[in-house]
Amino acid sequence: MTNSESAIFDQAFKALDSFHIEIPSWGFANTGTRFGKFLQTAAASTIEEKFADAAEVNRLTGVTPTLALHVLWDLPNGLADVPAVRDLERRFGVRSGSINPNLFQDQEYKYGSLCNPSAAIRQQAVAHMLDSIEIAKALGARDISLWLADGSNYPGTQSIRKRIGWLEEALCTSHQHLAPNQRLLVEYKPFEPAFYHTDIADWGMSVQLSRHAGPQACVLVDTGHHYTTQNIEQIVAWLLHTGMLGGFHFNDRRYADDDLTLGSIDPYQIFRIFHEIHSAAADGLNLDVAYMIDQSHNLKGKIEAMVQTVVTAQELYLKAALIDREKLAEYQQSCDLVAAEELFRGAFWKDVRPLAAAWREARGLPADPLAALRENGYVERIAQERGSRHAAVSSYA
């Protein structure tokens, strides 16, 4: 191996050692479109099964040590469920990750939760936020990830400004209850389920609300929550520059919030996002960015899709890490447009799979996690076990 090749290996290994990504509990469960669900026998139906599946993904990839939890879906009894979750953490070697409040499921939230015209319903929603924060404290989880479905469908039916005030008040109250090490990640989405106005519709609104809430609030970027032509990496650059980037929910989309597997439609976009993050780090910015997956695997097998996503994320992160930034800066400064773009594109087109495989083997992991999953029979085994159990429950019911 030449000195140049050795340097690339060292750089690649250092980058991969620094990369971890959180996987979501709901990514292992049966999900569907607004028209219905397509059931899979291997899908997880209990939090124990979700932890088991998460442990398998971490065993194969080595970079998914935490599992994001949805409060009502995973901890329906609130704090009373914490001891059982703690036991699952010990059994499966996976920690609880970000805690996700649920402010869109109850019937009371038909006209909004934190922004509902009813003071009683707003109080109910704030109470759920505070319960979620306490659950996170009990589990040792740092981030509370807030996605708000609030909005309206028809002009004139709601006071947009009043709802801004109610939301500011709710987030300030939530922020006051955070532990010193916790963060409130404020997500945004341009539409769906609200189609006239959404209360947190873009990154600017999220930034303003976070700043108003307090210093432990920052922005969560979901890569599917943008219009098709939006320049997401420019948004990321602004959030990095202003110190407001808290984390990502990674997925891909063709039209809107399609929740497709990361990189399946536009891997170049994820590469461009990672480039902005690597560039900011190289420039000395103090970064604390949480990488999380938020996908709905309606057609693909749940665990295969998760492993495929994690491996894709590693590869795109590595491609961006290997950009020759000094040379790129020279080309940018001299406005040598073709040379700069070719260097940038060349890093994207580089096949980093051998480097990633070498890193995995050096860390005692399968060189090809997806192939290892298909060979070890885990999916077939749980499909048989869970399918039989579901059939027995259905027969008994």
- What's the pLDDT at 301? 96
- Cα dihedral sign for 162, 164, 169, 173? positive
Contact at 8 Å (CB) between 43 and 386? yes
- Those residues whose C-beta lies under 8 Å from the C-beta of residue 385, and which sit 6 or more positions away, are none
CB-based burial, 62-81: b 16+ in 10 Å, e otherwise = bbbbbbbbbbbebbeeeeeb
- pLDDT band per the 50, 70, 90 thresholds, residue 1: confident
SS3 243: coil
- What's the pLDDT at 32? 75
Which position has the token pair 């979750």?
85
- Per-chain mean pLDDT for the chain: 95
Instruction: Quote the CA–CA distance of 82 and 139 in Å, as a whole number.
Output: 7
- What's the pLDDT at 360? 98
- Classify domain 19-396 by CATH number: 3.20.20.150
pLDDT at 397 over 60: no
- What's the pLDDT at 396? 36
- pLDDT band per the 50, 70, 90 thresholds, residue 389: confident
